[in-house]
Chain A
Amino acid sequence: MMNIHAHTPNIELTARARRVAAVAASHADSVDRDGRFPAEAVEAMRTERLMGVQIPTAFGGEGASTAEIAEICSILGQACSASAMVFAMHQIKVSSLVTHGGDDAWHQGFMARVAGEQLLLGSATTEGGIGGNMRNSICAIEVDGDTCRLEKNATVISYGDQADAILITSRSHADAAASDQVLTVFLKDQYTLEKTHVWDALGMRGTCSDGYVFKGEAPAVQILPRPFAEIAAQSMLAHAHILWSAVWYGIAADAFAKAQAFVRAAARKSPDMTPPGALRVAEASSLLQGVKASIVAALEMYEAARENEDKLSSMSFSVAMNNLKIASSQTILTIINHCMLICGILAYKNGTPFSLGRHLRDAHSAQLMISNDRILGNTSNMLLIHKQDTSLLG
C-alpha cells in the first residue's frame, strides 16, 4: 500500500502542475534576469488550487501525499527553479501545520483558510547572530495575556513581500534557552516588515530572499502547540530535504533533457557516427537515476516513519534525510556540468534552446541552503554513535 502511494503518480494533480509549469517556463528567464518574484507562476498555482493540496480534506484541502507534492516540485523545477522553490518552501510550512497543528482549533481554521483562499506561506527561521543554526533563536516571543508579540532580525525571509502569512521561530519566552523555540503563525495584517537586505544573488533570483526586521502582534493561540524542536525533527527535516531535492532533481532533469536532445539531433544528422557527447549523456543518465532513486527511497522511508514519533526523531532517520540532501545537492552540479560539456557553447550562451547558465546558477544554491558543511558536521557527530544500517533492504 505504501509503495503504491509513493510510486503511482496522481494524473489529475500532475496535469494541473504541468499547466502551472507551462506558465512558469514562459517567464523563467525574465524572473531570473530581473530577480523578480514569479508572480505569474504563483497566480497559476492559485488558479490550479495547488497551495492547499497537502491540507487534509477535512479542512478543505486534498490530503495530497508527500510523494505527490514532491512530484509537483519536480515538474515545476523543470520549468523555473525559483517558482518551484517558492512552492516547495510554502509546502514545507504547510507540512508543519498539517503535522503539528491538526488538533488545535485556531490552526485547523487557518489550514482551511490556506486551502480556501490559496494563501502563500513564508518562513522566517534565520536570524542575525545565530550563525546560521536555525535551531537556535535570540529573539523571544512575549506572551501578554491573550496576545503575543515578536520582533526579529530575520536575515532572510524568502518572498517576504508576497507572503500572506509568515511562520516564524523564536525562543518560547524571555528566559528560555536558545534552543527552546516555538513557531508562530502571523497573518499579513499582524506584522510589519522593514527591509534590511535586498536579494541580488547568483541564482534562485526569483525567490526574493530579502532580509527584514519583522515586528508582529497576534493572538497567542497562533503559537503552534508543539515545541519547534519537535516540528523541526518530525516534519521540517524530511519535507525540506525531500522537496528541495525534488526541485533540484527537476533542474537537473531539464538540463539532461536539453543535452539529450542536443546529442539526438547530432545523431540524426549523421546516423553512422556516434556523436561525441553520447557517452556523457549515458553518464549523466546514470547520475540522474541515482538522484531520483535517492528521493524515492527517502519518500518511502518517510511514509514508513511518519506515524511513529520515535522513528522520526531517531538518528537513523536524521542521517538518512541529511544524506539525501548532501547527495542530491552535489550530484545535480555534476549532472548539469556534464550537460554543459555536451551542449558546449550553446549551453554557455544565454538565449539558445540549450542554454544552461540559469540551471547551473540555480543549482549552486543547493549546497548552501543549509550549508552542506553544517549538515555533514551534524551527520558526522551522529555517526560517532549511530551505526549505519548496512543491510540492502532493511
Chain B
Amino acid sequence: MSAVEAIRSIVAKHGKLPVDVATLQDDADLYAAGLSSFASVQLMLAIEEHFDIEFPEDRLNRKTFSSIKAIAEVVTELSEDQQAA
C-alpha cells in the first residue's frame, strides 16, 4: 500500500469527515471538507503510529493537514529523516 493509500484509509477511519473520503482528490482541502481541529489530532496520532514517525513541533500546524497530498509529503519527508537518524 502506498503512503497516499494508507493515509486515505486513516483519514477515512479517524478524520470524522461528513463526506466519503473516496470522493476527495488528493489535493482537496480537508478543512473545507469538514476536518475539525479535534479530529486532526486523532488523525495525527494514527499517522504517527502507522508510519512510526513523530511530527516535530514546526509541522504541527494547519498546513501539514490541509490535504491528503500535504500529509503524504510530510510523512515521506519525516520517514526518510527519522530512519536516517
Contact = CB atoms under 8 A, between A and B. Distances in A.
Interface string A374-387: 00001001101111
Contacts of B41: 381-382, 384-385
Given A178-B18, A179-B36, A310 B45 contact: no
A227 B55 CA distance: 25
A89 to B, nearest CB: 23
A135 B36 contact: yes
Given A179-B35, A180-B32, A180-B34, A386 B18 contact: no
Nearest to A136: B36
B61 interface: yes
A316 interface: yes
B57 A310 contact: no
B33 A381 contact: no
Interface in B22-77: 31-38, 41, 44-45, 48, 55, 57-58, 60-63
B60 A177 contact: no
A74 B78 CA distance: 45
B6 interface: no
Interface in A169-195: 176-180
A315 B61 contact: yes
A316 B36 contact: no
Given A178-B18, A382-B41, A385-B48, A313 B61 contact: yes
B50 to A, nearest CB: 14
Contacts of B63: 310, 313
A359 to B, nearest CB: 34
A314 interface: yes
B38 A310 contact: no
A105 B61 CA distance: 30
A69 B38 CA distance: 31
Contacts of B31: 179-180, 227, 229
Contact of B61 (A176, A179, A314): A314
B48 to A, nearest CB: 7
A257 B48 CA distance: 51
Given A385-B41, A385-B44, A177 B32 contact: yes
A296 interface: no
A319 to B, nearest CB: 10
A221 interface: no
A134 interface: no
Given A316-B57, A387-B57, A381 B38 contact: yes
Contacts of A316: 57, 60
A287 interface: no
Contact of B60 (A180, A230, A315, A381): A315
A177 B38 contact: no
A180 B31 CA distance: 7
Given A177-B18, A385-B45, A378 B37 contact: yes
A180 B19 CA distance: 13
Interface centre among B17, B35, B48, B61 (most CB of A within 10 A): B61
A389 B41 CA distance: 18
Contacts of B36: 135, 179
A233 to B, nearest CB: 7
A386 B60 contact: yes
B57 to A, nearest CB: 6
Given A177-B34, A179-B35, A378-B37, A313 B62 contact: yes
Nearest to A386: B60
Contacts of B33: 177, 180
Contact of B57 (A177, A314, A378): A314
Contacts of B62: 229-230, 233, 313
Interface of B: 17-19, 31-38, 41, 44-45, 48, 55, 57-58, 60-63
- Sorted nearest first, the 5 A-B pairs with minimum C-beta distance are A177-B34, A315-B60, A313-B62, A314-B61, A313-B61
